[in-house]
Amino acid sequence: LQNRSALVLLLSPFQYLHSDSVTDAALNPPHDLNVIALNTNYTLTWDWHQNHAGPDPVTFTVRCAGKKPRWTTACAETAGRSCDLTGLELLYLGMYVLQVRANLNTSHSDWTSKTFCPDKEAAIGPPSKVRLGVAGSSLDVFISDPQSSSNSSMREMISDLYFQVRYWEQRGRRGLAQR
């Protein structure tokens, strides 16, 4: 059973994204969209309940839109339940709408949407390098910033990035003291 559906998303008080497509009501849409985000590496994942028993495989299409209401296809007709968005070079301080739908031959499910803000949702990874050096009776610690997907410093996007260093000293027979 085919039906015509329209989806309107409010991105800001001034912009709308509109999607108009033929959908198959019998094809379940993906659900539980989640972005695994570390530094500027982003992967969209989703779940999907299979509801067809035919021999043809179901695939998925993922698209993304930012401030400009223009969709960019990130993954087309992929068989897996994840899509690497890193190649889209999303701005770290941007806001995006991510959508995914199921495809079966010429039929499609409804789009499922998720808003994604990298600076609010991405975890910051560990330092890219830690080096220790001895200077007399002192220990120097050299820490290199975490790297983005383009091998630039995450400090370019997070100006107040800092590191907290914890260490322990042995205090005679009493054990260790945290500093």
DSSP for 75-106, written as a single string: EEEESSSEEE-GGG---TT--EEEEEEEEETT
Determine the Cα–Cα distance for residues 33 and 82; give it in Å rounded to an integer.
9
Q: How is domain 2-121 classified at the CATH fold level?
A: Immunoglobulin-like (2.60.40)
Q: Tell me, what DSSP letter sits at residue 128?
A: S
Q: Which pLDDT belongs to residue 56?
A: 86
| Nearest partner of 141 among 155, 130, 152, 153, judged by Cα | 130
In the chain, CATH 2.60.40.10 covers: 2-121
Q: Kind and range of the H or E element at 114?
A: strand 112-116
Is residue 163 over pLDDT 70? Answer: yes
Distance CA 159, CA 154 (A): 8
Please give the pLDDT value at position 53: 65
User: Rounded to the nearest 5 degrees, what angle is found at the Cα of 94, between the Cα atoms of 86 and 70?
Assistant: 80
In terms of pTM, does the model score above 0.85? Answer: no
**pLDDT on residue 48:** 95
Q: What is the pLDDT of residues 11-28, one digit of tens each?
A: 443 344 444 445 555 799
pLDDT of residue 29: 96
For position 10, what pLDDT does the model report? 42
Q: Would you give the distance in Å from CA 42 to the centre of its chain?
A: 3
Share above pLDDT 90 across residues of the chain, in percent, rounded to a whole number: 68
DSSP assignment of 39-82 equals: TTEEEEEEE------SSSPPEEEEEEE-SSS--EEEEEEESSSE
Answer whether residue 91 shows pLDDT above 70: yes
Dihedral sign of CA atoms 45, 47, 51, 54 in order: positive
Q: What is the mean pLDDT of residues 66-86?
A: 95
Helical (H) or strand (E) element with 18? strand 15-24
Give me the mean pLDDT over the 35-45 stretch.
Answer: 98
